[in-house]
Amino acid sequence: MAIMYEKDSEILKAIGHPVRLKMVEGLINNKDCNVNDMVKKMGLPQSTVSQHLGILRSRGIIAPRKDGVRTCYRVVDDRVEELIRVLKK
């Protein structure tokens, strides 16, 4: 498939932020998928974490699953895990 510069660069930009990159990697590796756990792990205000999650969500990188009061996010764009694997090389 041909590159769609606008759309693809949106994906890269979304994970091209240290906080979001760390959050996404955390979602891939661990099972700390709810917001409060991520808030603790990141050491950032809840609103800041939620805002970053919103950016990842709006780009279709992650998706929420309601679990009572909690919201558990998971990575739904398969390319993202691969992108991170490539970065590690």
Partner DNA sequence: TCCTTCTATCGTAATATTACAATATTAAAG
Partner DNA sequence: CTTTAATATTGTAATATTACGATAGAAGGA
The answer to the question of residue 16 lying near a copy of itself (CB under 8 A) is yes
Site residues (CB under 7 A) for DNA, limited to 46-85: 46-48, 50-55, 64, 66, 68-72
Decide which of DNA, a copy of itself, none touches 76; Cβ closer than 5 to 8 Å per partner kind.
Answer: none
Q: Are 78 and 19 in contact (CB under 8 A)?
A: no
Report, in Å, the least distance between residue 62 CB and DNA: 10
Question: Among 86, 60, 88, 87, which residue's Cα sits nearest to residue 75?
Answer: 60
Question: Among 57, 55, 26, which residue's Cα sits nearest to residue 39?
Answer: 26
The answer to the question of residue 21 lying near DNA (CB under 7 A) is no
Report, in Å, the least distance between residue 6 CB and DNA: 11
Decide which of DNA, a copy of itself, none touches 32; Cβ closer than 5 to 8 Å per partner kind.
Answer: none
Burial class (CB in 10 A: 0-12, 13-18, 19+), 61: buried
Burial class (CB in 10 A: 0-12, 13-18, 19+), 1: exposed
Residues at the site binding DNA, with contacts judged by CB under 7 A: 13, 17, 19, 34-36, 39, 44-48, 50-55, 64, 66, 68-72
